[in-house]
Amino acid sequence: MGESALENAEKRRDRIAADINALQAKIEQKRKELERVNAFISDYQMFASGEPELELGQTLSLPSVPVPIPKKHVNPDKEIVGDAVERILRANKRPMSRDTLFREVMREGLDIQGKDPLMVFSTMLWRMPKRFVRLGGKVGYWLTQEPCPEVNYVPPPPPPAL
């Protein structure tokens, strides 16, 4: 009973993390939209009032437009991370823990950052259920469509064709 409760909690944690990531992306999109609207309003006010004539050496002071803060780091696409994870799992020939996979992915030169890089990594794997499955307990991640006799994992049957 304890294992299923833990698995349920971990699944819920992963869903919540995915929801947070989606909301943060939406907030960033709205911030950019707000910046565009503010720039338009600023330009509109300047042009609506007419362009003042400038004398030699005089400069026009324009209202300041907020400069967007560039993202410090862009994580690699989840499919690129997935390709690395698949290579690592196939080379290892057995499931691996999230932490171990994360270290191996970083060794391959993929830099995953964020407030909680391990959670970012987990969310990437969670978003690829056709490629990776998280096996219960402390077994770790494995390839969804590959059997793993060492841990008695049998892939689910393919969905029926429509």
Q: Could you tell me the CA-to-CA distances from 106 to 47, 49, 96, 161 in Å, in that order?
A: 51, 55, 15, 38
Kind plus residue range of the DSSP H or E element containing 80:
helix 78-92
Under the banding of pLDDT at 50, 70 and 90, the label for residue 20 is confident
CATH match of 78-151 with 1.10.287 = no
Over residues 87-92, the mean pLDDT reads 96
- Torsion, Cα 132 107 25 35, to 10 degrees, reads -160
More confident residue, 23 or 110: 110
What number is the average pLDDT over the span 135-151? 91
pLDDT in tens, 31-80: 788 888 777 777 777 667 776 555 666 555 556 667 777 666 789 999 99
